[in-house]
Protein backbone atom coordinates (compact mmCIF):
# COMPACT_ATOMS: atom_id res chain seq x y z
CA UNK A 1 0.00 0.00 0.00
CA UNK A 2 1.34 3.41 -0.91
CA UNK A 3 2.16 5.69 1.99
CA UNK A 4 0.04 8.81 1.56
CA UNK A 5 -0.46 9.36 5.25
CA UNK A 6 2.08 12.17 5.39
CA UNK A 7 1.00 13.61 2.02
CA UNK A 8 -0.66 16.97 2.72
CA UNK A 9 -2.69 16.78 -0.47
CA UNK A 10 -3.95 13.34 0.48
CA UNK A 11 -4.92 14.35 4.00
CA UNK A 12 -6.66 17.55 2.91
CA UNK A 13 -8.64 15.97 0.09
CA UNK A 14 -9.71 13.02 2.27
CA UNK A 15 -10.88 15.48 4.92
CA UNK A 16 -12.85 17.40 2.30
CA UNK A 17 -14.47 14.15 1.18
CA UNK A 18 -15.24 13.18 4.78
CA UNK A 19 -16.94 16.54 5.37
CA UNK A 20 -19.07 16.09 2.25
CA UNK A 21 -20.00 12.53 3.21
CA UNK A 22 -21.07 13.67 6.67
CA UNK A 23 -23.14 16.63 5.47
CA UNK A 24 -24.64 15.42 2.18
CA UNK A 25 -28.33 14.64 1.82
CA UNK A 26 -27.53 11.93 -0.69
CA UNK A 27 -24.43 9.94 -1.62
CA UNK A 28 -23.71 8.40 -5.01
CA UNK A 29 -20.91 5.84 -5.22
CA UNK A 30 -19.27 4.64 -8.42
CA UNK A 31 -17.18 1.47 -8.12
CA UNK A 32 -14.78 0.67 -10.94
CA UNK A 33 -12.11 -1.94 -11.62
CA UNK A 34 -9.62 0.08 -9.57
CA UNK A 35 -11.68 -0.50 -6.43
CA UNK A 36 -11.61 -4.27 -6.79
CA UNK A 37 -7.91 -4.00 -7.68
CA UNK A 38 -7.34 -2.10 -4.43
CA UNK A 39 -9.16 -4.96 -2.70
CA UNK A 40 -6.70 -7.43 -4.21
CA UNK A 41 -8.66 -8.51 -7.30
CA UNK A 42 -6.79 -6.89 -10.16
CA UNK A 43 -7.24 -7.99 -13.77
CA UNK A 44 -3.73 -6.66 -14.41
CA UNK A 45 -2.04 -8.70 -11.66
CA UNK A 46 0.33 -11.24 -13.24
CA UNK A 47 1.00 -13.13 -10.00
CA UNK A 48 -2.72 -13.52 -9.29
CA UNK A 49 -3.29 -14.61 -12.89
CA UNK A 50 -0.66 -17.35 -12.59
CA UNK A 51 -2.42 -18.52 -9.44
CA UNK A 52 -5.87 -19.04 -10.94
CA UNK A 53 -5.06 -19.47 -14.65
CA UNK A 54 -1.73 -21.39 -14.66
CA UNK A 55 -2.47 -23.04 -18.01
CA UNK A 56 -3.11 -19.72 -19.71
CA UNK A 57 0.02 -18.25 -18.13
CA UNK A 58 1.99 -21.17 -19.53
CA UNK A 59 0.61 -20.34 -22.99
CA UNK A 60 2.12 -16.85 -22.75
CA UNK A 61 -0.79 -14.78 -21.44
CA UNK A 62 0.00 -12.40 -18.59
CA UNK A 63 -3.29 -11.18 -17.07
CA UNK A 64 -7.07 -11.45 -17.57
CA UNK A 65 -7.45 -8.26 -19.62
CA UNK A 66 -5.49 -9.95 -22.43
CA UNK A 67 -7.98 -12.81 -22.46
CA UNK A 68 -10.99 -10.53 -22.67
CA UNK A 69 -10.02 -9.98 -26.31
CA UNK A 70 -9.42 -13.61 -27.25
CA UNK A 71 -12.45 -13.94 -29.55
CA UNK A 72 -10.26 -13.93 -32.66
CA UNK A 73 -8.07 -16.75 -31.37
CA UNK A 74 -10.49 -19.37 -32.68
CA UNK A 75 -10.89 -21.26 -29.43
CA UNK A 76 -13.10 -24.36 -29.54
CA UNK A 77 -15.98 -24.54 -27.06
CA UNK A 78 -14.02 -27.02 -24.94
CA UNK A 79 -11.31 -24.41 -24.28
CA UNK A 80 -13.74 -21.49 -24.11
CA UNK A 81 -15.56 -23.18 -21.27
CA UNK A 82 -12.40 -24.26 -19.47
CA UNK A 83 -11.25 -20.64 -19.42
CA UNK A 84 -14.67 -19.20 -18.62
CA UNK A 85 -15.47 -21.35 -15.61
CA UNK A 86 -11.93 -21.16 -14.21
CA UNK A 87 -12.06 -17.36 -14.40
CA UNK A 88 -15.58 -16.96 -13.02
CA UNK A 89 -15.10 -19.53 -10.29
CA UNK A 90 -12.06 -17.67 -8.97
CA UNK A 91 -13.44 -14.14 -9.29
CA UNK A 92 -16.96 -14.88 -8.11
CA UNK A 93 -16.71 -17.83 -5.71
CA UNK A 94 -13.08 -18.41 -4.61
CA UNK A 95 -11.88 -14.85 -4.04
CA UNK A 96 -13.31 -13.82 -0.65
CA UNK A 97 -15.75 -11.04 0.14
CA UNK A 98 -13.53 -7.98 0.46
CA UNK A 99 -12.93 -6.25 3.78
CA UNK A 100 -12.36 -3.04 1.81
CA UNK A 101 -15.88 -3.18 0.36
CA UNK A 102 -17.22 -3.86 3.86
CA UNK A 103 -15.44 -0.73 5.13
CA UNK A 104 -16.95 1.23 2.24
CA UNK A 105 -20.41 0.08 3.30
CA UNK A 106 -19.76 1.32 6.83
CA UNK A 107 -19.02 4.79 5.42
CA UNK A 108 -22.52 5.11 3.92
CA UNK A 109 -24.59 2.77 6.10
CA UNK A 110 -27.76 4.40 7.34
CA UNK A 111 -27.51 7.17 4.73
CA UNK A 112 -29.51 7.84 1.58
CA UNK A 113 -27.04 6.36 -0.91
CA UNK A 114 -26.90 4.47 -4.17
CA UNK A 115 -23.97 2.53 -5.62
CA UNK A 116 -23.23 1.91 -9.30
CA UNK A 117 -20.56 -0.52 -10.39
CA UNK A 118 -19.02 -1.54 -13.68
CA UNK A 119 -17.59 -4.67 -12.05
CA UNK A 120 -19.13 -8.10 -12.53
CA UNK A 121 -17.59 -9.68 -9.42
CA UNK A 122 -20.58 -8.99 -7.11
CA UNK A 123 -18.31 -7.66 -4.37
CA UNK A 124 -20.91 -5.05 -3.36
CA UNK A 125 -23.50 -7.78 -2.78
CA UNK A 126 -21.02 -10.02 -1.00
CA UNK A 127 -19.97 -7.16 1.30
CA UNK A 128 -23.56 -6.76 2.42
CA UNK A 129 -24.72 -3.77 0.38
CA UNK A 130 -28.54 -3.75 0.13
CA UNK A 131 -29.15 -4.71 -3.48
CA UNK A 132 -32.12 -2.37 -3.83
CA UNK A 133 -29.47 0.39 -3.59
CA UNK A 134 -27.04 -1.13 -6.10
CA UNK A 135 -26.99 -0.98 -9.88
CA UNK A 136 -24.61 -3.50 -11.45
CA UNK A 137 -24.44 -1.61 -14.73
CA UNK A 138 -22.47 -4.30 -16.54
CA UNK A 139 -24.42 -7.14 -14.95
CA UNK A 140 -22.61 -10.03 -13.30
CA UNK A 141 -21.11 -13.43 -13.99
CA UNK A 142 -23.98 -15.29 -12.37
CA UNK A 143 -26.19 -16.24 -15.32
CA UNK A 144 -25.98 -17.64 -18.83
CA UNK A 145 -27.92 -16.72 -21.98
CA UNK A 146 -28.42 -18.11 -25.46
CA UNK A 147 -25.91 -16.52 -27.85
CA UNK A 148 -28.54 -16.61 -30.62
CA UNK A 149 -31.04 -14.77 -28.40
CA UNK A 150 -33.78 -17.27 -29.22
CA UNK A 151 -35.16 -16.76 -25.70
CA UNK A 152 -34.90 -14.20 -22.91
CA UNK A 153 -34.66 -16.99 -20.37
CA UNK A 154 -31.34 -17.25 -18.54
CA UNK A 155 -29.75 -19.96 -16.44
CA UNK A 156 -27.57 -20.05 -13.32
CA UNK A 157 -23.92 -20.64 -14.10
CA UNK A 158 -22.89 -22.15 -10.74
CA UNK A 159 -24.19 -25.70 -11.41
CA UNK A 160 -22.26 -25.74 -14.68
CA UNK A 161 -19.10 -24.52 -12.95
CA UNK A 162 -19.37 -27.32 -10.39
CA UNK A 163 -19.92 -29.87 -13.15
CA UNK A 164 -17.19 -28.71 -15.52
CA UNK A 165 -14.31 -27.78 -13.19
CA UNK A 166 -13.34 -31.43 -12.57
CA UNK A 167 -13.42 -32.02 -16.34
CA UNK A 168 -10.66 -29.53 -17.21
CA UNK A 169 -7.73 -31.42 -18.71
CA UNK A 170 -4.58 -29.77 -17.28
CA UNK A 171 -2.51 -30.80 -20.31
CA UNK A 172 -4.77 -29.41 -23.05
CA UNK A 173 -6.75 -26.90 -20.96
CA UNK A 174 -9.91 -28.25 -22.55
CA UNK A 175 -13.11 -29.74 -21.15
CA UNK A 176 -12.42 -33.45 -21.46
CA UNK A 177 -16.08 -34.47 -21.90
CA UNK A 178 -17.58 -32.11 -24.45
CA UNK A 179 -21.06 -33.57 -23.91
CA UNK A 180 -21.05 -31.80 -20.52
CA UNK A 181 -20.75 -28.35 -22.14
CA UNK A 182 -24.12 -26.56 -21.89
CA UNK A 183 -25.98 -25.42 -24.97
CA UNK A 184 -29.32 -23.67 -25.31
CA UNK A 185 -32.07 -26.22 -24.64
CA UNK A 186 -34.30 -24.53 -27.21
CA UNK A 187 -32.12 -23.92 -30.28
CA UNK A 188 -28.84 -25.68 -29.48
CA UNK A 189 -26.71 -22.52 -29.73
CA UNK A 190 -23.75 -22.02 -27.37
CA UNK A 191 -24.47 -20.35 -24.04
CA UNK A 192 -22.42 -17.47 -22.68
CA UNK A 193 -22.42 -15.13 -19.72
CA UNK A 194 -25.63 -13.08 -19.65
CA UNK A 195 -24.08 -9.93 -18.13
CA UNK A 196 -26.81 -7.29 -18.77
CA UNK A 197 -29.16 -9.66 -20.60
CA UNK A 198 -30.87 -11.14 -17.54
CA UNK A 199 -34.46 -10.86 -16.50
CA UNK A 200 -34.13 -8.26 -13.72
CA UNK A 201 -31.64 -5.89 -15.34
CA UNK A 202 -34.07 -3.24 -16.53
CA UNK A 203 -35.85 -3.10 -13.17
CA UNK A 204 -32.50 -2.65 -11.43
CA UNK A 205 -31.56 0.11 -13.85
CA UNK A 206 -34.89 1.85 -13.32
CA UNK A 207 -34.42 1.85 -9.53
CA UNK A 208 -31.18 3.74 -10.09
CA UNK A 209 -32.81 6.24 -12.45
CA UNK A 210 -35.65 6.76 -9.96
CA UNK A 211 -33.15 7.46 -7.19
CA UNK A 212 -31.25 9.95 -9.35
CA UNK A 213 -34.58 11.69 -9.90
CA UNK A 214 -34.80 12.36 -6.16
CA UNK A 215 -31.46 14.21 -6.00
CA UNK A 216 -32.72 17.50 -7.45
CA UNK A 217 -32.23 20.35 -5.02
CA UNK A 218 -30.35 18.11 -2.57
CA UNK A 219 -26.76 18.25 -1.41
CA UNK A 220 -25.22 15.39 -3.37
CA UNK A 221 -21.82 13.83 -2.70
CA UNK A 222 -20.58 11.89 -5.74
CA UNK A 223 -17.65 9.53 -5.15
CA UNK A 224 -15.85 7.65 -7.92
CA UNK A 225 -13.58 4.85 -6.75
CA UNK A 226 -11.17 3.32 -9.22
CA UNK A 227 -13.06 4.31 -12.37
CA UNK A 228 -10.88 4.54 -15.45
CA UNK A 229 -11.41 4.65 -19.20
CA UNK A 230 -12.34 1.05 -20.07
CA UNK A 231 -16.06 1.86 -20.04
CA UNK A 232 -16.28 5.62 -19.36
CA UNK A 233 -19.91 5.79 -20.53
CA UNK A 234 -20.99 3.60 -17.59
CA UNK A 235 -19.87 5.77 -14.65
CA UNK A 236 -17.25 8.38 -15.51
CA UNK A 237 -19.11 10.52 -18.04
CA UNK A 238 -22.59 10.26 -16.43
CA UNK A 239 -21.12 11.26 -13.07
CA UNK A 240 -19.43 14.27 -14.66
CA UNK A 241 -22.69 15.35 -16.27
CA UNK A 242 -24.60 14.92 -13.01
CA UNK A 243 -22.04 16.98 -11.06
CA UNK A 244 -22.13 19.69 -13.72
CA UNK A 245 -25.93 19.86 -13.87
CA UNK A 246 -26.60 19.68 -10.13
CA UNK A 247 -26.74 22.92 -8.21
CA UNK A 248 -25.30 21.51 -5.00
CA UNK A 249 -23.15 18.51 -5.90
CA UNK A 250 -19.47 17.70 -5.66
CA UNK A 251 -17.56 14.94 -7.45
CA UNK A 252 -14.60 13.22 -5.79
CA UNK A 253 -12.62 11.25 -8.37
CA UNK A 254 -10.44 8.72 -6.55
CA UNK A 255 -8.05 6.85 -8.83
CA UNK A 256 -4.33 6.40 -9.21
CA UNK A 257 -2.17 5.62 -12.18
CA UNK A 258 -2.02 1.88 -12.74
CA UNK A 259 1.48 0.55 -12.12
CA UNK A 260 0.95 -1.95 -14.95
CA UNK A 261 0.40 0.91 -17.44
CA UNK A 262 3.11 3.48 -16.61
CA UNK A 263 2.72 6.79 -18.34
CA UNK A 264 -1.03 6.43 -18.74
CA UNK A 265 -2.07 8.70 -15.89
CA UNK A 266 -4.99 11.06 -15.80
CA UNK A 267 -7.42 8.64 -14.21
CA UNK A 268 -8.20 11.15 -11.47
CA UNK A 269 -8.29 14.27 -13.66
CA UNK A 270 -11.49 16.30 -13.86
CA UNK A 271 -12.70 18.52 -16.73
CA UNK A 272 -12.09 22.25 -16.60
CA UNK A 273 -15.88 22.75 -16.66
CA UNK A 274 -16.08 21.09 -13.22
CA UNK A 275 -13.57 23.38 -11.57
CA UNK A 276 -14.84 24.06 -8.06
CA UNK A 277 -17.35 21.19 -8.32
CA UNK A 278 -14.91 18.29 -8.41
CA UNK A 279 -11.82 17.18 -6.52
CA UNK A 280 -9.20 14.98 -8.23
CA UNK A 281 -7.76 12.42 -5.82
CA UNK A 282 -4.86 10.56 -7.49
CA UNK A 283 -4.64 7.98 -4.73
CA UNK A 284 -5.33 4.31 -4.23
CA UNK A 285 -9.01 3.76 -3.44
CA UNK A 286 -8.04 1.42 -0.61
CA UNK A 287 -5.92 4.10 1.07
CA UNK A 288 -8.78 6.60 0.92
CA UNK A 289 -11.43 4.19 2.21
CA UNK A 290 -9.25 3.00 5.05
CA UNK A 291 -8.45 6.57 6.14
CA UNK A 292 -12.15 7.47 6.11
CA UNK A 293 -13.01 4.29 8.01
CA UNK A 294 -10.39 5.03 10.67
CA UNK A 295 -12.05 8.39 11.27
CA UNK A 296 -15.48 6.83 11.97
CA UNK A 297 -16.71 6.86 15.56
CA UNK A 298 -16.52 3.41 17.21
CA UNK A 299 -20.29 2.91 17.14
CA UNK A 300 -20.31 3.05 13.32
CA UNK A 301 -17.60 0.44 12.80
Per-residue pLDDT of the chain in tens (301 residues, 90 and over written 9): 444 444 459 999 999 999 999 999 999 999 999 999 999 998 788 888 888 888 888 888 887 777 766 655 678 999 999 989 999 999 999 999 999 999 999 999 999 999 999 999 999 999 999 999 999 999 999 999 999 999 999 999 999 999 999 999 988 899 999 999 999 999 999 999 999 988 899 999 999 999 999 999 999 999 999 998 888 999 999 999 999 999 999 999 999 865 555 555 567 889 999 999 999 999 999 999 999 999 999 999 9
CATH number for the domain formed by residue range(s) 8-41+98-139+200-300: 3.40.50.1220
**Would the annotation count 146 as a binding residue?**
yes
pLDDT tens-digit series, residues 135-194: 999 999 999 999 999 999 999 999 999 999 999 998 889 999 999 999 999 999 999 999
155 within 8 A of 191, measured Cβ to Cβ:
yes
191 within 8 A of 182, measured Cβ to Cβ:
yes
**Would the annotation count 187 as a binding residue?**
yes
Instruction: Give CA–CA dist 25/163, Å, rounded.
Output: 48
Indicate the SS3 state at residue 273: helix
In the chain, what are the domain boundaries?
A: 8-41+98-139+200-300, 46-94+142-195
**Would the annotation count 150 as a binding residue?**
yes
The values of phi and psi at residue 146, to 5°, are -75, 130
Instruction: Give CA–CA dist 235/216, Å, rounded.
Output: 19
37 within 8 A of 123, measured Cβ to Cβ:
no
Instruction: Give CA–CA dist 227/244, Å, rounded.
Output: 18
Indicate the SS3 state at residue 23: helix
Amino acid sequence: MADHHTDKGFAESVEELRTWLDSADKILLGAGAGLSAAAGLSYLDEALFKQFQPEMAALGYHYPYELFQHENDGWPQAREWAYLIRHINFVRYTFPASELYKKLLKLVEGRDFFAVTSNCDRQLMRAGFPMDRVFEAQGSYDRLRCTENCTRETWEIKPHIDKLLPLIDPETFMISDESAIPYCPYCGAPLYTAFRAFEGYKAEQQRFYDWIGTTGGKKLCIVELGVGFNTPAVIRWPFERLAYASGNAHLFRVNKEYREWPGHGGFSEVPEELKGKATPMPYDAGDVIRRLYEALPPERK
